[in-house]
């Protein structure tokens, strides 16, 4: 009788373990995500220079904030190309090397191989200057400037 009870108990345990295994099945699923390079740039809407007479220089500083998760370059170009022919005074931006660069007629890199910024971003203060010319007709001139952040190669 004891032997029969042990066999019955063993059979019950076997059935419970099989039944418990069926109700508690699990599986492992692999999740995959891809992080791509991301860039954001923030700038004021305009940069106003005070009035300038011929042969005078006016200098202004523009503050930008860049966010990037990879090394990056910052370039600039004027998009109001029609101003170039009517405005003879020079408009330049200062590069990271301290040299003043014109940016009409194509892209000009102002910052290169900058480190990833993290969540706080990186603030950049970029000096600009305008030098008046005697060929300039008096008036107010406006043009658009485009800043672009791209991955550093």
The answer to whether residue 16 scores a pLDDT higher than 80 is no
pLDDT tens profile 73-122 = 999 998 865 555 577 888 999 999 999 999 888 899 999 999 999 999 99
Assigned CATH topology for domain 39-151: Immunoglobulin-like (2.60.40)
- Picking from 91, 103, 96, 99, the residue whose alpha carbon sits closest to that of residue 128 is 91
Give how far Cα 66 sits from Cα of 125, 128, 153, Å. Answer: 11, 18, 18
The answer to whether residue 143 scores a pLDDT higher than 90 is no
pLDDT at 82: 57
- Picking from 145, 138, 142, 146, the residue whose alpha carbon sits closest to that of residue 49 is 142
pLDDT tens profile 20-69 = 556 667 899 999 999 999 999 999 999 999 999 999 999 999 999 999 99
The pTM of the full predicted model, rounded to 2 decimals, is 0.75
pLDDT at 26: 84
The answer to whether residue 137 scores a pLDDT higher than 90 is no
Model confidence band, residue 18 (pLDDT cutoffs 50, 70, 90) = low
The answer to whether residue 9 scores a pLDDT higher than 80 is no
User: DSSP assignment of 79-107, as one string?
Assistant: S-THHHHH--SEEEEE-TTS-EEE-TTS-
Mean pLDDT of 124-132: 95
DSSP SS3 for 3: helix
């Amino acid at each position: 009788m004891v032997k029969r009870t042990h066999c019955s108990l063993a059979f019950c345990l076997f059935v419970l373990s099989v039944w418990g295994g069926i109700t508690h099945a699990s599986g492992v699923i692999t999740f995959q995500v891809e992080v791509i390079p991301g860039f954001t740039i923030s700038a004021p809407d305009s940069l106003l220079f005070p009035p300038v007479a011929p042969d005078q220089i006016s200098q202004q500083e523009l503050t930008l904030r860049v966010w990037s998760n990879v090394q990056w370059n910052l370039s600039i170009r004027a998009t109001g190309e029609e101003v170039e022919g009517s405005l003879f005074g020079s408009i330049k931006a200062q590069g990271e090397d301290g040299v003043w660069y014109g940016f009409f007629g194509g892209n000009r890199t102002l910052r290169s191989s900058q480190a990833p910024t993290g969540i706080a971003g990186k603030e950049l203060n970029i000096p600009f200057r305008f030098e008046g010319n005697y060929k300039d007709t008096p008036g107010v001139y406006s043009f658009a400037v485009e800043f672009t952040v791209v991955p550093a190669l």
